[in-house]
Amino acid sequence: MSFRSRTLPVVAALALALPVTTVPPAQAEPPSPTRAAAVAAAGELKTTDVSLRYAPTGRSWQVVLTEPGSSYLKVHFSSLELAPGDRVTVADPTGREVHTYHGDPTRRAFPGDSPHTVHGKRGFAAMSIDGDTAVVTLHAAVERPDAAALGRRGLGARVDSYYRGFTEPERAAANPAPLSVCGTDARRDVVCYQNNHPTEFARSGAVARQLLNGLGHCTAWRVGNTNRMLTNYHCMESAADLRASEFQFDYQCATCGGSNPKPGTKVSGLELIKSSPLSALDYALFSVNNFASIQQYGTLYLDVREPTAGERIYIPGHGDTRPKRLSLYEERDGGAYCKIDVVSSGVNTGYRCDSSGGNSGSPVLAASSHKVIALHHLGGCPNWGTRISLVNREIASLIDNRPANP
């Protein structure tokens, strides 16, 4: 399925063979096709034709790509061939984020280089840069008086396109508000709960923002002790989707209510291990490159029992493509905690924790164990997650779900 079709409604053909229990005075079944699962539209692809060539003087040459107000830029190289020891960097103007490449990683491996993504055409894309400006620089290890000869050999870099993240008004227009914020939006930055809910705050560290094909956002998270992650199938339908995805850990504000998210750590996808379509359990289990770089953020474990009526839950995620927030309360901060409202409806369990576009793939954690009890995938108030007991039956042999310190 192309990304374009993902931004349109997708029929949520979910099994409803099991009886609905503990029904609240709201919608008691998963949503109709008009409220179906979709990847949150986050940006657009723009074409360009920019070359970086060697010059006989100096040791660095650069071009600057700017899209005022955009939330990110992700640069695609149609070709990158450099003299030995030379490199290209893609960075923001302050050097807060810097991604480095010594050549085209789809042609050969360059140890120590940054991750990359591929998009069904020649070349590769660098990891995205948060913000509206990307500085692309060719760095030479030594001066290149033979620059003309290097140019005749085709050495240098060529940028044929880039992805730019929508501004906030564009994002809102591209993602009409679903029935997923149930009353007042009670979500807050995860750091708001660092002191009064330290365990919930700590567990949220394992949750990452997914950027799919430079154009859409979901949420993904580490599961178990090994290199394994989970998201929704409708966020990752194929190995090609995984190769075109990046995952940003620690993208969260440093202060409660601030607008100062960290750049975090970005990694790319490695292997799609097992999946189940939207019409079944709607999950994708996969691994990532540079796994060692994300282990510092912790992991989550599965609570493989069935949910119980009224039990407290919480959901960390990247709804509206924003820095990570925690859905802990139903209506207002400090009010009634989120809880299980519909124990079982087909493969799902239902709750009124707030969510929105970009939350697809978020973990739903049981407060009693601080383990994952459902995989969020549909809105509708109540909102819906696949019961993790069902997912576990299919992936138990593929993960290590044993906490080191139970």
Instruction: Please write the tens of the pLDDT for every residue from 267-300.
Output: 999 999 999 999 999 999 999 999 999 999 999 9
Range of the domain at 389: 3-41+176-398
Instruction: Copy the structure tokens of residue 335.
Output: 């009010």
Q: Would residue 290 be called left, alpha or beta, if left means φ above 0 and alpha means ψ between -120 and 50 degrees?
A: left
Is 403 inside any structural domain? no
Tokens 């003299």 appear where?
Answer: 83
pLDDT at 10: 28
Q: How much is the pTM?
A: 0.90
Residue 172: is its pLDDT beyond 60?
A: yes
Amino acid at 230: L
Which of 165, 199, 219 marks a domain boundary?
Answer: 165
Q: Are 341 and 350 in contact (CB under 8 A)?
A: yes
Mean pLDDT of 353-374: 95
Same structural domain, 61 and 159: yes
pLDDT at 17: 30
Which of 108, 138, 165 marks a domain boundary?
Answer: 165
Peptide bond between residue 9 and the one before it cis (omega within 30 degrees of 0):
no
Q: Are 273 and 283 in contact (CB under 8 A)?
A: no
Confidence of residue 178 (pLDDT cuts 50, 70, 90): low
Of the candidate ranges 69-78, 266-275, 348-357, 366-375, the one whose mean pLDDT is the lowest: 348-357
Tens digits of residue pLDDT in 11-44: 232 222 333 333 343 445 665 433 456 799 999 9
Same structural domain, 34 and 50: no
Mean pLDDT of 164-178: 87
Mean pLDDT of 57-83: 96
Nearest to 322, CA basis, from 180, 209, 203:
209
pLDDT at 406: 56
- CA-based torsion, 202, 395, 292, 78: positive or negative: negative
pLDDT at 84: 94
Of the candidate ranges 146-160, 177-191, 342-356, the one whose mean pLDDT is the lowest: 177-191
Same structural domain, 154 and 233: no
Is 35 inside any structural domain? yes
Q: Are 29 and 51 in contact (CB under 8 A)?
A: no
Same structural domain, 203 and 69: no
CA 99 to chain centre: 18
Same structural domain, 279 and 349: yes
Same structural domain, 361 and 221: yes
Cα atoms found within 13 Å of the Cα of residue 396, Cβ hemisphere only: 8
Query: Between 42 and 178, where is the model more confident?
Result: 42
Residue 238: is its pLDDT beyond 60?
A: yes
Is 77 inside any structural domain? yes
CATH of the domain at 370: 2.40.10.120
Mean pLDDT of 325-349: 94
Same structural domain, 204 and 275: yes
How would you class 118 by CB atoms within 10 Å of its CB: exposed for 0-12, middle for 13-18, buried for 19 or more?
middle
Same structural domain, 130 and 235: no
Determine phi and psi for 344, rounding to 5 degrees: -150, 125
Is 119 inside any structural domain? yes
Query: For a pLDDT cut of 90, what percent of the chain falls above it?
Result: 80
CATH of the domain at 74: 2.60.120.290
Q: What is the largest CA-CA distance in the chain?
A: 76
Same structural domain, 33 and 47: no
- Three-class secondary structure of residue 240 per DSSP: helix
Is 261 inside any structural domain? yes
Same structural domain, 340 and 251: yes
List, in order, residues 6 or more apart from 295 with CB less than 8 Å away: none
Residue 177: is its pLDDT beyond 90?
A: no
**Measured between alpha carbons, how far is 166 from 355 in angstroms, rounded to an integer?**
20
pLDDT at 36: 53
List Cα–Cα distances, 110 to 84, 95, 246, 267, in angstroms. 11, 22, 19, 16
Query: Between 33 and 143, where is the model more confident?
Result: 143
Is 28 inside any structural domain? yes
pLDDT at 391: 98
Same structural domain, 71 and 219: no
Same structural domain, 155 and 204: no
Confidence of residue 403 (pLDDT cuts 50, 70, 90): very high
pLDDT at 333: 85
Is 105 inside any structural domain? yes
Total domains in the fold of the chain: 2
Is 274 inside any structural domain? yes
- Written as one string, the DSSP assignment of 176-233 is PPPTTS-SS---EEGGGGTTTSHHHHHHGGGEEEEEETTTEEEEEEEBSSSS-EEE-G
Confidence of residue 215 (pLDDT cuts 50, 70, 90): very high
pLDDT at 38: 77
Which of 146, 165, 184 marks a domain boundary?
Answer: 165
